Amino acid sequence: MKKSNIAIWKRDWFLALILSALFLVFSQSALLQSLERFAYDWGLRGSTGVPSDRVAVIAIDDESINNIGRWPWSREIQAEMIDLLSESGAKVIGHTSFFFEPQRDPGLEIVESIGIYLEDFGLAATDFDIEGNPTSIPGYGFDDLCTTINDEWPILEPDEDEDPLAFAERQAASVENMSFAIEALELPLAELHQQVFAAVEALDVDQILANSVAEAGNVVLPMFFYIGQPLGNPDAAMPAFISDTSALFNIQDNVQAAQNGLFPLESVAYDVPIDVIGSWASGIGHLNALLDVDGGIRSEPLVLDYFGESYPSLSLLLAAKSLNLGVDDISVKLGEGVDVGALSIGTDDALQMNTFFYTDQNGVPAFQVDSFYDVLSGNIPASKYRDKIVLIGATAVGLGATQVTPLIRQWHR
């Protein structure tokens, strides 16, 4: 057998070995990662895709701010929009505003104090009708008032030679005057107490929004995680209205994740919607955008970890809800990806999905984008959003956050 005279460094396998070694050495280098980002961006720019016509965006834009008023708006405005979309048959509503703090009208506390005063002094009390709505009734103080008036009311004596019938009529008139004196206070105070109910209902905008979210039954709200490695125990447990409805429990480990460290990104703290609003949401998902070293966004963490608990992104929840699925239908495959029903989504080791971006076509946005004001005012009929996945978010100057994507600078959140 004739031996090859080709030098070892000229052989194909040797070249492959050298390239493999170089790849291992430089795989985590800034240069190679920069090349990967460039290749990803270039690939997206060269790709074509047809965006889903089921997705619609309602933008809190400059036109809306100019017509409705300065931000933040009263939450009853957000409630009105949710009512419109719900009544029109929107499939699912994703609101990207953070409702982390209460919004209380300065007059609400004063009005509530009037109601407390009336009840504390027994001038009015609260009862409930057959539908469970609060209604006003006379307070315990009127029983005491009746007793006092009865005790103190002048006792009539018949005049000399007064006709008995005339005296009886005079007695009846006296009793009627006594009853009228009580009713003159009882009825107006009960009405005042009822008006306090109406005022509280009109001024409590958080409750107004909560009622709309509850009535719609398909509103998904955002939360926010602070990414970091926990060094101890959490400052606070996740509120039950989130952990019970939005935490992911179907976790699969097919790749020995514990041994290889293949887990979602960890977090050390969170901000969530206030209870009165968040507790009625159909789901609550995180709205965390992770930037690359160049400030661009190329991926989204579909799942984040909070002290051993897994929570989905807002977009993942919206996708599930649009397929008539819930968190129980989401399967997390550590180090591999996420399944939503029969839909499999591939990710990196940390369950981050590479995002796809669509460019405008001939000056027309890839997705429907309508002004919040135009929808609210009826210039655009809400029926347009029937069976749509509707996203409500800010694009106005100073509200929307401009961020870098592989294609263009666009608003996010």
User: What's the confidence (pLDDT) of residue 319?
Assistant: 93
Let me know whether 228 and 155 are in one domain.
Answer: no
User: Does the structure show a pLDDT above 80 at 99?
Assistant: yes
In a domain, 29, yes or no: no
Let me know whether 132 and 281 are in one domain.
Answer: no
Let me know whether 92 and 136 are in one domain.
Answer: no
| Boundary residue ending a domain (203, 234, 264) | 203
For 106, residues 6+ apart whose C-beta sits below 8 A from its C-beta are: none
User: Does the structure show a pLDDT above 60 at 337?
Assistant: yes
Let me know whether 251 and 365 are in one domain.
Answer: yes
- pLDDT tens per residue, range 137-181: 777 776 666 666 665 555 656 666 767 676 666 666 666 656 666
In a domain, 44, yes or no: no
In a domain, 119, yes or no: yes
Least confident of 3-17, 228-242, 300-314, 393-407: 3-17
Let me know whether 195 and 295 are in one domain.
Answer: no
Let me know whether 231 and 342 are in one domain.
Answer: yes
Residue 113 lies in domain: 106-203
Let me know whether 223 and 197 are in one domain.
Answer: no
Averaged pLDDT for residues 362-382: 87
The encoded tokens of residue 118 equal 């009336």
| Boundary residue ending a domain (149, 179, 203) | 203
Let me know whether 228 and 114 are in one domain.
Answer: no
| Boundary residue ending a domain (171, 203, 235) | 203
- Dihedral angle of Cα 109, 114, 116, 117, to the nearest 10 degrees: 140
In a domain, 387, yes or no: yes
Write the CA distances from 297 to 9, 92, 127, 286, integer angstroms.
42, 25, 55, 16
Let me know whether 147 and 266 are in one domain.
Answer: no
In a domain, 191, yes or no: yes
Number of structural domains found in the chain: 2
In a domain, 34, yes or no: no
Let me know whether 125 and 99 are in one domain.
Answer: no
For 299, residues 6+ apart whose C-beta sits below 8 A from its C-beta are: 290, 348, 352, 353, 354, 355
The residue ranges of DSSP E strands in 36-181, in sequence order, are 55-60, 92-95, 124-128, 134-138
User: What's the confidence (pLDDT) of residue 412?
Assistant: 40
In a domain, 375, yes or no: yes
- pLDDT tens per residue, range 219-278: 999 999 999 999 899 988 899 999 988 999 999 998 888 888 888 999 999 999 999 999
Q: Are 394 and 371 in contact (CB under 8 A)?
A: no
In a domain, 36, yes or no: no
Let me know whether 161 and 257 are in one domain.
Answer: no
The encoded tokens of residue 70 equal 């300065």
User: Does the structure show a pLDDT above 70 at 64?
Assistant: yes
User: What's the confidence (pLDDT) of residue 157?
Assistant: 64
Let me know whether 66 and 130 are in one domain.
Answer: no
